[in-house]
Every structure is written in C-alpha cells, then in structure tokens.
Amino acid sequence: WLELCIHRAIFAPLSKLPGPWYSLFTDLYLMYKEFSGQRREYIHELHKTYGPAVRLGPNEVSFTSLEALKEIYQSGGSGYDKTEFYTLFKQFGTRTMFSTLDKGNHSQKKRHIASQYANTNIMHPEVLGGIQDRANAFIRICEKSKGTGMDAYIYLHCFALDCASHHLFHPYGTKSIEGADLNMMEELSYHDSLMRNLAQYRWPTMSFWLEKVFKPRPAPLANDYVLASSRTSDSGEHSLTYKLQNSKDAFQPIQIAAECMDHMAAGIDTTGDALCLLMYQLSLSESFQVQDQLITELSINKDKAFDDLPYLDAVIKEGLRCFPPIPMSQPRYAPTGGRTIDGYFIPGHTIVSCQAWSVHQLNEDVFIKGDQFLPERWLDPKAALEMNRLFFSFGAGGRGCTGRHLAIAEMKCLLREVYIRYKTRVAPEMRGRMNLSDQVISSRPLDQTCKLIFEPLN
Ligand code: HEM
C-alpha cells in the first residue's frame, strides 16, 4: 500500500495534473458526489479552482478546453472509445449504437442509421408533418388552459415522446398529448434509478446482489409498445424501423427493438427538458424582452420556414448552451500508449471527459458572461463561429447526437407555434424547483413540474 501511495503521489503521470490531493489516491469522494447527485457541480467547482485540466481520481481526468474537446471526441473522426459506463444503456440486453464501446462496431451500426436522421430526411413531409401535427396538439392543450396555469413539463415531454415515436414507427407513433399514451411518458420520465445505475457501474461484479437491493425500473408499457411497433411490416419509408428492417439483414428483430427503444428514451427527456427549461427561462420577467423580440420576429415572418428565423435559432442555441439536457461528463478511454492532452501526458486506459456544463461556462473568452442567458450572442457570425466549436450540448464528432436535427426541428416547430400565438409567464401557483437535478448522464428540473400561463396575443 505504501509503495502504491508513493507511486501515485510522485511517479504516476497523473500526479503532474492539478487537482485535490486525495484524488491521487482514491475516487471515493468522487463516488460520494456521484451518489448524492452532485458530480457535475463538484467537477465544475474543481475546474474553477484548478483550471481547464483537473484530476478527478487516480484514473480519471476532466477537461474544459477546445483542444481537449477536439482530441477526445473528434480525433480520427469519432474520438476515443467509450468506457464501460455506457453498458448501463443496453436495451433488452443488447448493445445499441449508443452503448457500443469501440469505434469499429459503432461505425458499422451507424452506417445503417445515420441517413434516417439526416436533415434532408427530417425535412421530408412525412417526418415534418408528424412534428407539426404534434405541435398543433400541444397548442390545443394551451387553448384549453384558458389563461390558467398549465403544467408545461408534462405536455412538453408528451410532445417529445410523440415526435420521437412518430419518427421511429410512423404511422404507429404515440398520442400521449391527447392522453392515450400518457402513462408511457410517465413510466419513462418519472423514475428514480440514479442509485441503481451508479451502483451497477461502480460495482459490476456485484450485479446479482445489487439487483436484489435496487429493483430494476419496470417499463412494461414502453417495452410492449416498442417490441410490437418495431415488428410491423408497413412502417413509413422515412421511419427508422423501415430503414433497419431493410438493412440487408444487418439487424435481428431484437436489435431493431433495442435500437428503437434507445432512441425513444434518448428523445424524450432530452428534448422535453430542453424545451421546458427554455420556456421557463423565457417566462421569467427578466427574459420578457427576449420573448418580445421572438414574438416580433415570428409575427412579421409568418410565411418563412422555421430555419430562416435567426432569432428563433439564437434563442434555442442559447437555451441549449445554458441548460444542456446532458450537462455531465461523456467518458472515454485514452487510447493504448497514452496521449498528450492540453500539455499533459495521459496514460492509455485513463478515463477522460468533458462536461457541457463547464465547457459552456468556463471558456469566458468565447462565452462572455457565460452564466447569463443572452441569445443575442449568437447573432454575430464571427462570434458564433468560435462558440460553435465549443458548443457541446449534442456532444461532438462521430459519436455526437444522431438525433440533433430531429430535436432542433421539434424545438423550432413548437416554439414557433407557441410564440406566434401566446406570451408566456410563470404561473403564480408554480412551486416546483427548476434547479437541475443530476441523473446518470442527464439532468432534469428538480421537481418535474413547470406551471406556465399562456396569454393569447391580441
Ligand atoms: C435537445 C435534445 C437532445 C440532446 C441535447 C441530445 C444530446 C446528446 C448527446 C450529448 C449525445 C452524446 C452522448 C455521449 O456520447 O455520451 C447524444 C447521443 C445520441 N442521441 Fe441525442 N440528444 C437530443 C435528442 C435526441 C433525439 C430526439 C434522438 C432520437 C430520437 C437522439 C438520439 C441519440 C442517439 C441515437 C445518440 C447516440 C449516438 C451515437 O452513439 O452515435 N437524441 N445525444
């Protein structure tokens, strides 16, 4: 033990990195922060104290610089391989594109999937029409609320579920906004599986016993729905099911179901939370001026496509920058032989990562007043170019978010339909706390409720 401690303190390459002294010897304190839902903020504070490269434990380092982000996530196209952390995201016992660890297997799967998420496919009437239909359904709920507080958290998550399932299974998408599949949205979004997932990740050899203490999260409605819908033989040509079923026998039925389940889960909380956190911010009195400017842009450009509205684009970008739905570390292994990152030698198999929360706030030369919600910052093309390089809400490189065009189309479509008709403000009876509550990799509003008032314009 003494030898090991001396080695870690003096000779190990990570001893040259800045970080708290105890991180040389143990990651117990990091684990305590993880289990108490404070990992993201803990790492953020460490970066504020120690700078852009911080040792988190004897085998783990976090970075915030552009150089590190490019090296870890974009070098060679897809960056470094994922760690076993992603095993937590297997579906039906199967590795999906997201939970595949190595580059080779990942790019094989991605070859069959990516085209269905390309912007040209998302803009096809079959896909866009589905999003528009769901946005119209959301507006009907706003109309019904008649100026009283409506829980936007619920209906925005329903919107996200309906849009994702439409893209996966068209014409068998859910209709949770109307109430038919509301239980499925609740089953997928209102759960508390942080402890179970973290315990499984940290002590995988004890899985058998952990299963007894932390019961698996049941999702019978979603499982049945996905298993049945992914087997239908008449799904739309632009849906993911169609593409996977016709991918030259590359996917077995259970793999198709697993992939679809993964994308449905990936699409609900991310897009739902992003919209909820953004609409809440817009509904605070301090953002009324932003809201007014958005309303003006929409009202004088009624005939324009949502992609031709620069202020709408800036509002969404700034929302995702300030409140990234995946604000936490995206862990990767340094390749065999080690690499130099940010001027430090990092041995092979060290866990390295960046977290969007810190990347977006601590690069103050690029994100000036980074802790403030200022959509205008995206209107200057030169500044936007710099900021885009550090924009990490969708990850980066070949393993970044496949669904980003779908998510952006959903967000633009919904915000346009809302702010062309309504001004929103926080309902007086709103008691829910909107602070970010960390889950395993994503964060969500702490109390999972957000009451807003939709006041008709004119
Ligand atoms: C605002 C909404 C969204 C955000 C912020 C978001 C963010 C992300 C991020 C950060 C990653 C990379 C995570 C990592 O490497 O650890 C990711 C991956 C992924 N996302 Fe999203 N996502 C969003 C919406 C969606 C939607 C709507 C879908 C599909 C319906 C989707 C499907 C995926 C998939 C399949 C991956 C895995 C990509 C791969 O491994 O190649 N996402 N997303």
How much of the chain exceeds pLDDT 70, in percent? Answer: 100
Least confident span in 150-164, 189-203, 374-388: 189-203
State how far the Cα of 391 lies from the Cα of 204, in Å rounded to an integer: 33
Q: Which residue type is seen at 115?
A: S
Q: Which of 344, 445, 418 is nearest to 141 (CA)?
A: 418
Closest residue CA from atom 43 of ligand 1? 401
Cα–Cα distance, 34 to 194 (Å, whole number): 9
Please state the three-class secondary structure of 323-369 as a single string: CCCCCCECCEECCCCCEEECCEEECCCCEEEEEHHHHHHHCCCCCCC
Alpha-carbon span 370 to 386, nearest angstrom? 14
Q: What is the DSSP letter of 307?
A: G
Query: What pLDDT is stored for residue 30 in this prediction?
Result: 97
pLDDT band at 208; cut points 50, 70, 90 = confident
Any ligand 1 atom below 6 A from CB of 401 = yes
CA distances from 281 to 119, 355, 372, 425, 436 (A): 28, 22, 11, 9, 13
Q: How many Cα atoms sit within 13 Å of 193 on the Cβ side?
A: 19
Ligand 1: does its nearest atom lie under 6 Å from the Cβ of 266? Answer: yes
DSSP SS3 for 167: helix
Binding residues: 401
Q: Whose CA is nearest to atom 29 of ligand 1?
A: 403
Confidence band, pLDDT 50/70/90 cuts, at residue 107? very high
Q: How far is CA 163 from CA 158, 254, 407, 421, in A?
A: 9, 22, 9, 21
Q: Is the CB of residue 399 below 6 angstroms from any atom belonging to ligand 1?
A: yes
**CB distance 98 to ligand 1 below 6 Å:** yes
Spatial distance between the Cα atoms of 296 and 275, rounded to a whole number of angstroms = 20
Pocket test for ligand 1, best of 95, 102, 270, 315 (most atoms within 8 A of CB): 270
Strand order in the sheet with 150-151: 150-151, 451-456, 422-426
pLDDT digits (tens, 9 = 90+) for 312-366: 999 999 999 999 999 999 999 999 999 999 999 999 999 999 999 999 999 999 9
Separation CA 276–CA 281 (nearest Å)? 9
pLDDT tens for residues 8-42?
889 899 999 999 999 999 999 999 999 999 999 99
Reported as type and span, the H/E element at residue 203 is: none
Beta strands in 120-256 (DSSP E): 150-151
Say what the pTM is.
0.96
Cα-based distances in Å from 67 to 342, 348, 386: 6, 18, 13
Atom of ligand 1 nearest to the CA of 407: 27
Quickly state the pLDDT bin for 195 (edges 50, 70, 90).
confident
Is this complex's ipTM strictly greater than 0.90? yes
pLDDT of residue 224 exceeding 80: yes
Alpha-carbon distance of 237 to 171, in angstroms, equals: 10
Tokens standing for residue 377: 């910052």
Calculate helix-pair angle for 253-283, 404-419, nearest 10 degrees: 40
Q: Is the peptide bond before 171 cis (omega within 30 degrees of 0)?
A: yes
